[in-house]
Structure formats: C-alpha cells, structure tokens
Chain A
C-alpha cells in the first residue's frame, strides 16, 4: 500500500496541502478551525525528529519487528482442539456486526 520512495527523500514540513492529502489517506476529517493547531503540533514533532539526521546508520540492518524469529509457519491441518476452542466464536463475531442481514455483514453502497 505504501510505496517506498526512490530518489532524494528529505526531512520536510507538513503544510496545509499535505495535511489534506494525509487526511484523505487516513479516512479522517479534521475541522478547518482545528487544522492550524494540528499543523503546529505536527511541526514540533517533526522538528524533534531532525536529530535522527546526525545518526550514522551505515551497516545497521533495519529492525522490522520486535523479534528475531523468522516466518513462523503452522501445519495446514484441522486441529480438533482449536476447533473446540473456537466454537461459538463465529456467532459472537457476527453478533458484533453493527449492521447485518442474516449472517451477512451489511455494508453501505460503495458508489
């Protein structure tokens, strides 16, 4: 979903235009009157990030998770104990749907 940038990435400001774009990506809306304050807070936080510029990271592999475990796989088979444990769970998940028709999740029209 988020593409890696090629080219020259640089530390930057979030301006009104970029904030509008980020809000669209985030499926959020913030009232116009609250946006100057939000921009100010975000700027202060980005300024704080500037200090990372001075860290020399050559040779450091990106740490992408909290663990050194590599892909953990599970046998592709039905586990009777697990099935027992999960019994009734589907019903409770469906029950929690905000809107439903029978056992189907009801979604507003896309267009």
Chain B
C-alpha cells in the first residue's frame, strides 16, 4: 500500500508536503496504520499531496510535482494526488488518502481509479495531520470497488483515540464484501438536478450517462430529486474549512514537531525572541495556499466578522445537510459527476485560487453533510482502464484514448454497504470474462 504523507507511520518522516514538517518523524502509528498492520498490509512508501492536503491538483506540495499518469501534462488532482497516481500507475495495489472537500474522490476521478470517502466518524482520524477536523476523513484509493470495500472494512470502526469515531448501526457492514444483487436491485438512486448544470463539460455528461445506463441494466431505478442549497456549498465550505485550518495549523510554531532549517540564520541565538521564532517558522515554512487559508480563517473568526461569515456558514451547512436528509427519504443513494471537467493542465489554475476551488464543487457538499461517497471510473468511456484482470499485466492507457472520468455515488450515513454494493455490481459488468 501507498500512504498519503499526512498519515503517521511510527518512526518515519511525515511531512504533509510542508517545509514546516520537513524534519519531523512520527512518534506513533495512526489508528488506520495499526489496523492495517494487523491485517498484514505492507507499506511501500508515502505519497505526495498538496501542502497539508490543501489543494485540488497536488501542485501545492513544497517538495515535488506529481503528474497524471494518463497524460503527463495534466495534474493528477488533489490533494491525494500522489496516492491516486501510485495506484493508477500500478506502483501500488491500494493506497490511503484523506478527503476534506473531495481530496480522495477528485484525484481518483482524474486518474481513473476508485476513491472512497467514508461517513464522517466511520474511520478514526487519530494520526491524521488535521486540516479541517469537522470535515476530514481517511479512505482508500484502489483499482476496483471490491478492493475499496476490503480496505474500508479493515480501517473502519470506533476508536478511543478519536471521540468523533463511531461504529455503524448493528449489522451495518455485514454485507460490505458480499452484496446481494437482490438487495441492490431494490435500491432507488436519485439524480440531483443541481449537479447536472450547463457548466458541465460534455465529455463528463456523456460518461455519467453511460454509468447511469449500465446501472439501469442491473435493474436499479432512478429518480430526479433536488438539493436546493447546492450552489451555496462551495462558499460555505470556504468559510468553515479555513476557520478550522487557522486553528489546526497554529500548532506548527517551530517549538514543537519540527523547525525549518536555519531558522535563526547567522544571528546569535540569544538575540532571538519567541515571537521571531513563530513568525519566521510560519512565514518561511508555509506555502502560499496555506497562508491564504490561515489569513482567511483568522478573518472569518475574528470579532466583527464572525456572525456575517462563520456563524452564517454554520447555518447554511445545516441547510445543506437537511437537503440530503430530505432527499434520502425518497431515494437510497445519489449519483452525480465527481468534477465539472476531466483533469486540467499543470499550471492552468495555479494562479487563480477561486478557479481551483471550483473543481471541488460536486464533492464538497458530501463533506459538509458528513456522508459517505465513492468515485468510480466510468469503465466504458474514453481511456478508462477496464476492471483489471488478476493475470494480465496492467497497462496505463495512453492519452490518445482519452482522459478518465468517474461518477460519484453518495450514500446515507453509515450506509457504505449501499454505495460499495452498487459499485461492486457495476464493476462486475466490465470484468474480463
């Protein structure tokens, strides 16, 4: 397995792709790592990410540029771009990522692999370097939906070290690995009309339509539904998330964890004050996006602006969750695109933070509502990797065959079994015979 470099493995460097943690070595194993060790997993290495998981293209890493294996001129998505790339390029069978606003599903979508963001609380966050604690969740990136179910089953469950973690309702995960077609056929999938807007790239529409047709062939019924507050999710997220970032990143002060090289330069140590240490460590250690989010978060939480921004966003978040609650009275799961476009070019959005944020418009509402969601490659569109056979040497499709595009299934709280079940039967349609 490949592990995103914001998940602690005892005794090994864990940088979160930031200079502020360049020399940090993890003091303990995160709970997911401990559970995977118990299942005899082998960890091949740590993977690149946007600094502190903040970005949608992995271009914000302080150390390396990661390229999309399907087209080396394009981004792999982010922030778990390294994990998605490692699986797509057959460097690892599976990987772990983390997802705060789409950071597992969007790179999986861009790289033609499967990415699962579990229900908030389904997987312990102990040992995950925190970005936005009310949104963060660890999940698997794999080649097939079945593999995602296998890894999820190992890492899920309540943990005393994470007070927000919880077990599923009794029997909740019994059919994770052996879903029954009879159960799947009974499910109704909702198509939220707000996700199928005019701004959608035509290749995405085409691919998602193919996925819907394939699922209909299994006997699953579809129904159009509405999530009226969808268009406010991005603004809501970009208030709540930086607020939490500004608090979580306060701990990287140069006193604990790790200090950037030559912090005190040639000046005599005795001339240095504590405040200088804080400011130099953080100013020289954090990249532009991290700084932008810390400043924005400090702003929305500060006196005089709190009510207009943070308190308002918290209420909008409740309305977004309520939209989903209402929809799930009518349907069992939702199907949407993962991102408005396929993978974009390296550098294309690097200078425009708002354009970068827009690539997460379909994944963010799920985190705000704490729901489980999976990104699955459309297997019969463009250059999509077919479901890999166990005997054949895998090959990465060339860009001539087109870029991968996925679809997203969103489930009810702790109903990973539904979306992983639908996904496993979807994959079965394309398995080599």
**A contact set with B: CB distance below 8 Å:** 2-5, 7, 9-12, 14, 18-19, 22-23, 25-30, 38, 41-42, 44-45, 48-49, 51-52, 55, 57, 60-67, 69, 72, 74, 82, 86, 89, 92-93, 95-99, 105, 107-111
Interface pairs (30), CB distance under 8 Å: A3-B306, A5-B307, A7-B304, A26-B294, A27-B275, A27-B278, A28-B286, A30-B283, A45-B238, A48-B235, A49-B309, A51-B231, A51-B232, A52-B232, A52-B312, A55-B316, A57-B318, A62-B317, A65-B134, A65-B164, A66-B121, A66-B370, A67-B164, A93-B27, A96-B27, A98-B259, A99-B259, A108-B272, A109-B274, A110-B273
- Given A22-B295, A28-B294, CB of A74 within 8 Å of CB of B160: yes
For residue B210, CB closer than 8 A to chain A, the reply is: no
- Residue from B259, B298, B306 within 8 A of A25 (CB atoms): B298
Q: Which of B309-367 contact A (CB under 8 A)?
A: 309, 311-319, 321-322, 353-354, 367
Q: How far is the CA of A55 from the CA of B308 in the complex (A)?
A: 12
Q: Nearest-CB distance from A98 to chain B (Å)?
A: 4
- Given A62-B314, A110-B273, CB of A38 within 8 Å of CB of B292: yes
- Residue from A55, A67, A96 within 8 A of B232 (CB atoms): A55
Contact between A51 and B235, CB atoms less than 8 A apart? yes
For residue B279, CB closer than 8 A to chain A, the reply is: yes
Q: How far is the CA of A44 from the CA of B274 in the complex (A)?
A: 34
Interface of B is mostly: helix
Contact between B322 and A60, CB atoms less than 8 A apart? yes
Contact stretch, chosen from B73-81, B216-224, B249-257: B249-257
Q: How far is the CA of A98 from the CA of B274 in the complex (A)?
A: 14
Contact between A57 and B239, CB atoms less than 8 A apart? no
- Residue from A51, A69, A96 within 8 A of B257 (CB atoms): A96
- Residue from B27, B305, B316, B318 within 8 A of A12 (CB atoms): B305
In the complex, chain A residues whose CB is within 8 Å of the CB of B276: 108
